[in-house]
Chain A
Amino acid sequence: MKQILICACLLITTLSTKAQELPNFRLNLTGGYSYFTATDPNDAGSEMFINNDTFKKYNRDLQWGLNAEGNVHYLLKNGLGFGAKYRYMKTDVSETDLLFDAGDAHYGVVNVSEENKIMFIAPSLMYALWLEPTRKFLGSGALSVGYAYLESSGTVDNESAMFSGSNGGFQIDLGVDYFLTRNISVGLSTGYFYAKIKEVNINLSENKTKLPENVQPNLSSLKLNLSLSSNF
């Protein structure tokens, strides 16, 4: 009888462990805010704008944007996962009158607006592990290296223009998920994204223009997202 009970306990324990193994397949959707670390227009070669409250607000608005992301991974039993990522980021500033030094003890006023859309698609390598014995909290990290695309449009007073460009980029992610049920988890994710655009097409032209280094758009950004995952 004792042996039967011991065997039963061992079997139950084994079954329990199997029920809380890492999922094989994970579909993850996240959304939240991005913070762009290099958007100060005055960094582009000259202290063009007067650093007043309006400029600070313009710069602040450009630095923050929304982002949405989708990830799909196949996970091995050892926690290593292979998959893909797609991410969309947007930042924009509505029309803003900025002051600049017009010379001869005068200020000029220029009306500026800007909208930037960034897309990133990449294969992704992921690692996941349970953070505690109850296996309710799953920690994950990922590295994605792929293709970044920027489309930027803006106006300066009555002049408007747009440019687009692409380059390689990478993203590093860290996340924590809480399993509400066996298959559904919610969590937080943070990460760092980097890409720099060196050549652009201006106003839908077919010819590429190589940008001087000091004006190449630097898309470095941090993110903080809420996430929802489906795990199978």
Chain B
Amino acid sequence: MKSLYKFLIIFSLLSLFISCTDHYVNSVNPVPTETTYFGVMEVRKTGGNFATAQIPNSGLATGNYKIIVFPKAMELKSYYVKADKQGNIEVNYKLEKAIEVESGYDGTVFGVLRIINESGSRAINIPVGFVP
């Protein structure tokens, strides 16, 4: 069944500026090519256990990727994920508390997962949706 979602959060740009970089020169890195996933990574309440969420047909090439932004409500088992030949990605997560879903909707998007490739040249933003 196709789910309907209400968008509660839109994407925010990530700016890397931490206290340690007061000591360092911020060398100019190429800005990654950004795409948005035309779908939603569905998650459910897991309590204290880790579960697996799927990101099918992400459009990413086979290889290793890193999650560099994720919703605070979730806990990730690993920040490193792999895309298979079809671009499918699995994310191990824990979601201890349910997210409020407005009546009339099947779920709600409560955040974004941002995944970047090893070279930092390509990033994809994936909406994360809670389904009760």
Contacts and interface: CB of A to CB of B under 8 A. Distances in A.
Interface in A46-69: 46, 48-49
A120 to B, nearest CB: 20
A202 B26 CA distance: 11
Interface of A: 41-42, 44-46, 48-49, 97, 100, 102-112, 114, 152, 154, 156-163, 200, 202-203, 211-212, 215, 217
A209 B70 CA distance: 36
B29 A108 contact: no
Interface SS of chain B: helix, strand, loop or mixed?
loop
A109 B25 contact: no
A108 B69 contact: yes
B20 interface: yes
B73 A105 contact: yes
Contacts of A160: 27
A161 B27 contact: yes
B23 A215 contact: yes
27 contacts: A41-B19, A45-B22, A100-B18, A102-B69, A105-B73, A106-B12, A106-B70, A106-B72, A106-B111, A106-B112, A108-B68, A109-B66, A109-B67, A109-B70, A157-B120, A158-B29, A159-B27, A161-B23, A161-B27, A162-B24, A163-B24, A202-B24, A203-B25, A211-B22, A211-B23, A215-B22, A217-B23
A154 B27 CA distance: 13
A161 B20 CA distance: 11
9 smallest CB-CB distances across A and B, nearest first, come from A161-B24, A44-B19, A215-B22, A48-B19, A104-B12, A161-B25, A48-B18, A109-B68, A109-B79
B9 A107 contact: no
A139 B112 CA distance: 63
B1 interface: no
A31 B64 CA distance: 42
A67 B32 CA distance: 41
A40 to B, nearest CB: 10
Nearest to A111: B66
Interface SS of chain A: helix, strand, loop or mixed?
strand
Interface string B1-24: 000000001001010101111111
A36 B24 CA distance: 21
